Chain A
Amino acid sequence: AQKVTQAQTEISVVEKEDVTLDCVYETRDTTYYLFWYKQPPSGELVFLIRRNSFDEQNEISGRYSWNFQKSTSSFNFTITASQVVDSAVYFCALSEDRDDKIIFGKGTRLHILP
């Protein structure tokens, strides 16, 4: 069955520190997609990245980077030189090709302290 675990419920770091948000997933499908979304206080989810199961290349986008490791079923997200505007709830999500549903982790609330 699908499952997404974000073990870190809440993290606080001081501005300019690096922070990694963990995501571990479970799936029996060989074709699946992983996502990260950001939810600021305004409520809407903002898409950050989508990765399919055949593409294990790590990705960097500005201060954001993602580490996808199929061997450990993890898709971790790192923010480098964090800023106060990064404060939000971050969700990791999994969608299987087989049943085309999406499941979200419980989210990690990130506080960046000035």
Chain B
Amino acid sequence: KAGVTQTPRYLIKTRGQQVTLSCSPISGHRSVSWYQQTPGQGLQFLFEYFSETQRNKGNFPGRFSGRQFSNSRSEMNVSTLELGDSALYLCASSSVQGMNTEAFFGQGTRLTVV
């Protein structure tokens, strides 16, 4: 079956703009989680959605938000972009809710803020 699909793969935005990233989970998976990966901070958990509800949130400012649709696809939005938001954003899906389970990752969206 198809894996986790993230679009777009690459994105360049200007400071102050906003951006929306998309994630399509593995068919049948209802949990989608998002992560930010930077050279300095490493891999950090952003949030998790399950059945269209945010179930869990990491320590990120309110500029980072997300949502999940009834088909389990998820979007992540970052408003008022800062240079420090440049990162690889990874999405993962699981069949059950929670961070205690195996997750399947997409290849990520590499965001560059200039």
Contact = CB atoms under 8 A, between A and B. Distances in A.
Interface string B98-114: 11111111111010000
A62 interface: no
B43 interface: yes
User: Which secondary structure dominates chain A's binding surface?
Assistant: strand
Contact of B107 (A44, A52, A101, A102): A44
A100 B42 contact: no
Contacts of B101: 50
B104 A105 contact: no
Interface residues on A, range: 20 to 34
B90 interface: yes
Nearest to A106: B42
B92 to A, nearest CB: 7
Interface residues on B, range: 20 to 34
B16 interface: no
Given A95-B99, A100-B56, A43 B43 contact: no
Nearest to B4: A44
B105 A33 contact: no
A6 B4 CA distance: 27
Contact of A44 (B45, B58, B99, B106): B106
A44 B42 contact: no
Nearest to A93: B43
A43 B55 CA distance: 25
Nearest to B110: A43
B88 to A, nearest CB: 6
Contact of B100 (A43, A47, A95, A105): A95
B99 A45 contact: no
Interface string A21-55: 00000000000010101000011111100101000
11 contacts: A43-B108, A43-B110, A44-B4, A45-B90, A45-B92, A47-B104, A50-B100, A52-B100, A101-B58, A102-B45, A104-B44
Interface of A: 33, 35, 37, 42-47, 50, 52, 91, 95, 97, 100-107
